[in-house]
Amino acid sequence: MNNYTIKDALKKASLILNNQKEAAILLAYHLQKDRLYLITHEEEILQQSTEYFSLINRRKENEPIEYITQSVSFYDSEFFITKGALIPRPETELLIDKAKDILSQNTNITSIAEIGTGSGIIAVMLTRLFKDITITATDINQEALNIAKKNAQEFKVDDRIKFVHTSYLDEIYEKFDMIISNPPYIQDGFDLEKPLYFEPQNALFGGKRGDEILKEIIKISKQRECAYLLCEMGYDQKDPLERFMHKQEITDVNFYQDYSGFDRGFVAKIKE
């Protein structure tokens, strides 16, 4: 076995990944220390270097770093994540901000449904921010629901989130003031970048056109007469979704863009 110092291991791993920051994140994770420790202990002999370099190889093979470290930054916190659920994306923080705007202005909105909760970050964030709301969060993926429950427990909001293993809101007859969703919206068969193949494919693909699940959620929100519907969507789905909502007589809709200036979601007022 090689006797690497922390400094030498970091140097070698940085060259393998061509990325010093990721090599350091993985070394800190391996040692269960913070990154400052790597600087203050650079001459220390690295124990179990083989295990460290196997983490580096996983990353080299394109596995997302969040799955390796089982941790993802979202909004103001670190959340638990594993391969069972989609890795939350920074643009979904905008959906939280949109919900925040509505919930701060409408204190009568207390009952919320989230369709496709994945790792639970939306439901967990909203219940942390608003103490008077309750959320029913659904997913077709039981593994994702287990991850979501762990996050809800970690942030002590599990008493206000009901996780249900179902499609959409099937078999749930409660009335909701607001529905929120970041559903799968990529067109089936779209050629993904390599790291995305590590993520659950049914969290990504939304049908032949990509917007089928979004349209179903719009129909459900209309049928259930909730006051607001908030969704994330694909950058090229504004026109078809706007037309679809008009057909459903939903005309009070505001689309928003992400940090790169792409259309990314909407807030629809469905009922007074």
Ligand X SMILES: C[S@@+](CC[C@H](N)C(=O)[O-])C[C@H]1O[C@@H](n2cnc3c(N)ncnc32)[C@H](O)[C@@H]1O
The residues binding ligand X (CB under 6 A) are 85-86, 88, 92, 115-119, 121-122, 138-141, 144, 167-168, 182-184, 202-203, 213
Q: Strand order of the sheet with strand 252-257? A: 161-165, 134-139, 111-115, 178-181, 228-232, 263-269, 252-257
3-state secondary structure of 193: coil
Please report the beta strands in 118-221, taking only residues with DSSP state E, as ranges in sequence order: 134-139, 161-165, 178-181
CB of 41 to ligand X, least distance (A): 36
Largest CA distance in the chain: 69
Cα–Cα distance for residue pair 145/139, rounded to 1 Å: 7
CB nearer to ligand X: pick between 49 and 92: 92
Exposed / middle / buried, residue 150 (Cβ in 10 Å: 0-12, 13-18, 19+):
middle
CB of 164 to ligand X, least distance (A): 9
CA angle 267, 268, 271 (to 5 degrees): 140
Tally of CB atoms within 10 A around 129: 16
CB nearer to ligand X: pick between 174 and 252: 174
CB of 180 to ligand X, least distance (A): 9
CB nearer to ligand X: pick between 136 and 182: 182
Say if CB 272 and CB 109 are below 8 A apart: no
CB nearer to ligand X: pick between 64 and 88: 88
Residue type, 271: K
Which is nearest to 124 in space by CA: 172, 185, 76? 76
CB nearer to ligand X: pick between 28 and 196: 196
Cα–Cα distance for residue pair 163/145, rounded to 1 Å: 7
CB of 107 to ligand X, least distance (A): 24
In 226-247, which positions are buried (b, 16+ CB within 10 angstroms) versus exposed (e)?
bbbbbbbbbeebbebbbebbee
CB nearer to ligand X: pick between 140 and 253: 140
CB of 77 to ligand X, least distance (A): 14
Token duo for residue 205: 């693909």
CB of 11 to ligand X, least distance (A): 35
CB nearer to ligand X: pick between 49 and 141: 141
CB of 216 to ligand X, least distance (A): 7
